Amino acid sequence: MIENIEFEQKTDEELVVIVLENQSVFSYLVNRYKDKLLRYIRRISNVGLEEAEDMLQNIFIKVYLNLNDFDDSLKFSSWIYRIAHNEVIDNYRKRKARPQLLDIDIKDSQIKELAGDTNLLEELARQELKQEISQALSRIDVKYQEMIILKYLEEKDYQEISDIIKKPLGTVASRMNKAKAELKKVLNTNHKL
């Protein structure tokens, strides 16, 4: 029990060092990330729960396999999200299907931030806006969808997004601006209709 608490208090980076010596400690890393990654996979792909769980299992196996490749030039969370991002892309390629948004759960706080940043229509009721954003996200380009999801739903900063999708900061910033503009355009069009 003491050992459990000790591991719980370790940072991700410290746990990585321990996992390399003791495989069973890997379950602490799995615990920390499985829900977040499962939600992320489902947000950026059109797979069902079962397939998402299979992908999640592959992700953790790849994480374990490549633990020695992790270095502290980036956050562990960025590194594990990058592996998840790549797994989802590999999955698209295998299925030869473009991903669509299927399951987007958005918190009220996230809606508020996204609405503020994109000057969305304030008069819409929060629940209605949530639904409209989900639909609008499904209608914009996949690379823009992921920008919005990483920034507002996964709550990553620009540096983390840059490390996850392996693009320069400038590209992340311009892609984010385009993503917000696209989203706003689709939302405004929907609202006028």
Partner 1 sequence: MENETFNKEILEKLQELKIKPRARWHFLLKNYAIWISGILALLIGAASVSVIIYLSSYNDFSIRQDINKSLGEILLLTLPYFWLIFLSLFVFIVYYNLKHTKTGYRYSIGFIVAFAVIASIFLGGIFYATGLGKELDEILGQKAPLYGEMINPRVDFWSNPEEGRLIGIIISQTNDEDFVLIDKDQHEWLVKIESDDFAALHLTGGPLRLIGEKKSDGVFEVFKVLPMMPGHGFFKRMNGGPHPPVPGGPRMMEQIEINF
Binding residues (CB under 8 A) for partner 1: these are: 20, 23-24, 26-27, 30-31, 34-35, 38, 53, 56-57, 60-61, 64-69, 71, 73, 162, 166-171
Q: How many CB atoms lie within 10 A of CB 64?
A: 14
CB nearer partner 1, residue 73 or residue 119: 73
Shortest Cβ 148–partner 1 spacing (Å):
21
Q: What contacts 24+ positions apart, CB below 8 Å, involve 77-83?
A: 77/12, 77/33, 77/160, 78/156, 78/160, 78/163, 78/164, 79/163, 80/33, 80/37, 81/37, 81/40, 81/150, 81/154, 81/156, 81/160, 81/164, 82/163, 82/164, 82/165, 82/166, 83/59
Nearer to partner 1, 60 or 76 (CB): 60
Whose Cβ is closer to partner 1: residue 45's or residue 162's? 162
Q: Which residue has the tokens 């994480």?
A: 63
Please identify, using beta-carbon distances, which residue of 66 and 190 lies nearer to partner 1. 66
* Choice between 111 and 150, CB closer to partner 1: 150
CB of residue 17 vs partner 1: minimum separation in angstroms?
Answer: 12
Q: What is the DSSP letter of 154?
A: S
Instruction: State the nearest-atom distance from the C-beta of 159 to partner 1, in Å.
Output: 9
Residue 4 CB: number of other CB atoms within 10 A?
Answer: 9
C-beta of 172: minimal distance to partner 1 in Å? Answer: 10
Find out whether 28 and 17 touch, Cβ atoms under 8 Å.
no
* In the complex, least distance from residue 63 CB atom to partner 1, rounded to whole angstroms: 10
